[in-house]
A and B are shown apart, each in its own frame.
Chain A
Amino acid sequence: NAGVTQTPKFQVLKTGQSMTLQCAQDMNHNSMYWYRQDPGMGLKLIYYSVGAGITDKGEVPNGYNVSRSTTEDFPLRLELAAPSQTSVYFCASSSIRGRNTEAFFGQGTRLTVV
């Protein structure tokens, strides 16, 4: 069972470069999320989506963009990378909007912006 797959696992970018973090899930979950986690900190929600064609900003959306053209895929785009975006990025999915729904995570992408 693949679950939630994130690529790449590691990435180094130069300031000003752009890139897309890929996230795919094969559980037919309608909700998907992108989080970042800085060292010693909790997860901060960047963007989320409750279904194909629907996306919403989370707590820290500046500098990022997302799209949700299919149920399976939820890519995160960094247009002009900045050192402040150095972090670990986690993609997650859950089955329904509602109570007591478990979030399944990808293995994370460790991004360094130099």
Chain B
Amino acid sequence: RKEVEQDPGPFNVPEGATVAFNCTYSNSASQSFFWYRQDCRKEPKLLMSVYSSGNEDGRFTAQLNRASQYISLLIRDSKLSDSATYLCVVNSGDSNYQLIWGAGTKLIIKP
């Protein structure tokens, strides 16, 4: 089992729709969780951290479910500019604090 698993997609979604994707992680000791966005052939950039109580940033909502070991990302009122690959990231849970990256979910927003 991969340490961080994501549905690779692509998710083809009409503009204005709501889309959600999950990410599962295998290490119960992981303490930090993030969503990064990566545009084609560009470097990843932090979209948002994921907090235990869930958090929202504009149209984006992130949730953490420790019992089932998954995190989710919800995008409301999707825009064409949301088209990208979304990377789920968790930390290794040990003192080395390595970041473990999922392979990403590709999202395509269609007009």
Interface residues of A (CB under 8 A from B): 31, 33, 35, 40-45, 48, 56, 58, 88, 90, 97-103, 105-108
A43 touches B44 (CB 8 A): yes
Which residues of chain A are near B96, meaning CB under 8 Å?
Answer: 48, 56
A107–B38 CA distance with the chains assembled, in angstroms: 11
Q: Known contacts A97-B97, A98-B97, A99-B31: does B43 contact A41 (CB below 8 Å)?
A: no
Q: Known contacts A40-B8, A99-B32, A100-B49: does B101 contact A105 (CB below 8 Å)?
A: no
A108 touches B42 (CB 8 A): yes
B97 touches A103 (CB 8 A): no
Q: Which residue of B lies closest to A45 (CB)?
A: B98
A8 to chain B, nearest CB (A): 15
Which residues of chain B are near A88, meaning CB under 8 Å?
Answer: 41
Q: Which secondary structure characterizes the binding site on chain B?
A: loop
A108–B40 CA distance with the chains assembled, in angstroms: 12
Which residues of chain B are near A31, meaning CB under 8 Å?
Answer: 97
A108–B46 CA distance with the chains assembled, in angstroms: 16
Which residues of chain B are near A97, meaning CB under 8 Å?
Answer: 97
A105–B42 CA distance with the chains assembled, in angstroms: 10
B91 touches A99 (CB 8 A): yes
A100 to chain B, nearest CB (A): 5
Question: What would 23 A/B residue contacts be, using CB atoms closer than 8 Å?
Answer: A33-B99, A35-B101, A40-B103, A42-B4, A42-B101, A42-B103, A42-B104, A44-B101, A45-B98, A45-B99, A48-B96, A48-B98, A88-B41, A90-B43, A90-B44, A97-B97, A99-B31, A99-B32, A100-B49, A102-B46, A103-B46, A105-B44, A108-B43
B57 to chain A, nearest CB (A): 14
Which residues of chain A are near B97, meaning CB under 8 Å?
Answer: 31, 97-98
Q: Which residue of A lies closest to B8 (CB)?
A: A40
B62 CB–A CB distance under 8 Å? no
A42 touches B43 (CB 8 A): no
Which residues of chain B are near A105, meaning CB under 8 Å?
Answer: 43-45
A100: contacting residue among B32, B42, B87, B102, CB under 8 A:
B32
